[in-house]
Amino acid sequence: MESVGSHAGIGRPSSSTVAGVYDAATQQYVELIGTRLTSAIEAQSDLDIIDDFAAGVAAVEPDVVEPAARVLDAGCGPGRVSARLAESGLRPIGIDLSSDMVRAARAAHRGLSFVCGDLGGLAFADWSFAGVVAWYSIIHTEPDSVASMVAEMARVLRPHGMLLVAFQAGDGTAVERDHAYGTGMALRTVHHDPTRIGDMMKRVGLGDVQVSVRPPVHVHETTAQAIVRASAPRAWP
């Protein structure tokens, strides 16, 4: 699930816990932030980075990526990033733990593809995508478990494919809060160390790792925000 602001809970949330909270919160979530990316919620610099990512994927050599390249919106929520990628001429497939979020995405973006699934075990073949975006999708995952998600996202990247991951920046500690999105359910958000996330990408063979951190700019942002980008090699080993 993509996310805005902080969520919290007690203990280490399981995949089923996270999915359950977002299932319960789907209506409130959509009412709060909508089904498309906007400058009212995202910083303009973040939107520019997504657009640059889309342009970079589209510019990959035609012998590596076909026209209308397939990209994975990992943790798609109601399809906000998928819609932006489609507007850029790409062919997104969204995946999310929450079945209610997937239903909301399908209703809002007819003609685009959305499926339920876990980022720690993607049900796609190796080299399936020209790009992968995980937009605030690792924020409910403990640092030690993020590595498997990064490995899975790298696995499904084609040679020269691009990875883009956004999250709240910190030192790996968690923020805890009850009543996520007014549901009365508890969940927690982990503020990941951007350098550590970049190192995870390097360990799975990705290169050209770029880490950027910006200060909070919107009222719902209470901490610095990080974006880490990387590219798959010309040929996987």
CA distance 124 to 217: 36
CA distance 150 to 206: 10
DSSP state of 87: H
Is residue 193 scored above 90 in pLDDT? yes
Question: What is the chain's length?
Answer: 237
CA distance 21 to 99: 11
Q: What is each CA distance from 120 to 28, 141, 168, 201, in whole angstroms?
A: 26, 10, 20, 15
Q: What is the pLDDT of residues 101-123, one digit of tens each?
A: 999 999 999 999 999 999 999 99
What is the CA 182 to chain-centroid distance, rounded?
23
- pLDDT at position 16 is 65
In sequence order, which residues have a C-beta less than 8 Å from that of residue 20 and are 6 or more positions away? 185
Is residue 80 scored above 90 in pLDDT? yes
- Asked if 235 contacts 159 with a C-beta cutoff of 8 angstroms, the reply is yes
Domains defined along the chain, listed by start = 15-231 (3.40.50.150)
Q: Which residue has the higher pLDDT, 61 or 18?
A: 18
- pLDDT at position 5 is 36
Q: What is the pLDDT of residues 21-71, one digit of tens each?
A: 999 999 999 998 999 999 989 999 999 999 999 999 988 755 555 556 899
Q: What is the pLDDT of residues 128-166, one digit of tens each?
A: 999 999 999 999 999 999 999 999 999 999 999 999 999
- pLDDT at position 92 is 97
Mean pLDDT of the residues in the chain: 89
